Amino acid sequence: MSAPAEIIRSTLDSQELSYELKGDGRFFVTLPGTKKLQTNCWIVVAEHAVVVEAFVCRQPDEAHEDVYRYLLRRNARLYGVHYTIDDAGDIYLVGRFAPESVTDAELDRILGQVLEAADGDFNVLLELGFATAIRREWGWRESRGESLANLQAFRGLVERDGPVLPLDER
């Protein structure tokens, strides 16, 4: 195993993060969250770079311009990673680093940023890009007497006409 891969393994072990080694220098890490219950993240050690990639959410159903504006503005405040979309329009966080820059402290900062962004932005992205689906699900559950427990974060969305952006995004 290469030196960067050893540092990554050691850091993941010391942080007690759940991960699987999927071949030499390919780590599939599960970061625990609160709003987004978990964020799956690849860390791949290649010859000239270490790549970090985490799935955040699927392509928004609506308000694409608002979602992408939010992501672009958010990119300006992220450390080491940035938002991007794939060919299907699904949203990811990605970063690329020189192998010699991989240290325990730097990996901790990068994974912390991935978790803070994916978990912290998750409900905002859902409100912006899936407002109609959330309202429809809320109404369906309400009409059937089903639990609304896991939708409570979106009560304000259901009670108003549109999503509310964080103060720094208005």
Q: Which residues constitute the domain of residue 86?
A: 3-119
Specify if 56 maps to a domain.
Answer: yes
Query: CB atoms < 10 A from the CB of 78, how many?
Result: 17
| In-domain check, residue 40 | yes
> Residue 70 domain-assigned?
yes
Count of structural domains, the chain? 1
- CATH, residue 52: 3.30.1460.10
Which among 118, 27, 132, 124 has a CA at the least distance from the CA of 81? 118
| Residue that is written with structure tokens 């270490």 in the block | 50
Residue 137 falls within a domain, yes or no?
no
Give residue-wise pLDDT tens across range 134-145.
999 888 988 899
DSSP 8-state symbol, 76 = T
pLDDT tens-digit profile of 31-90?
Answer: 999 999 999 999 999 989 999 999 999 999 999 999 999 999 999 999 999 999 999 999
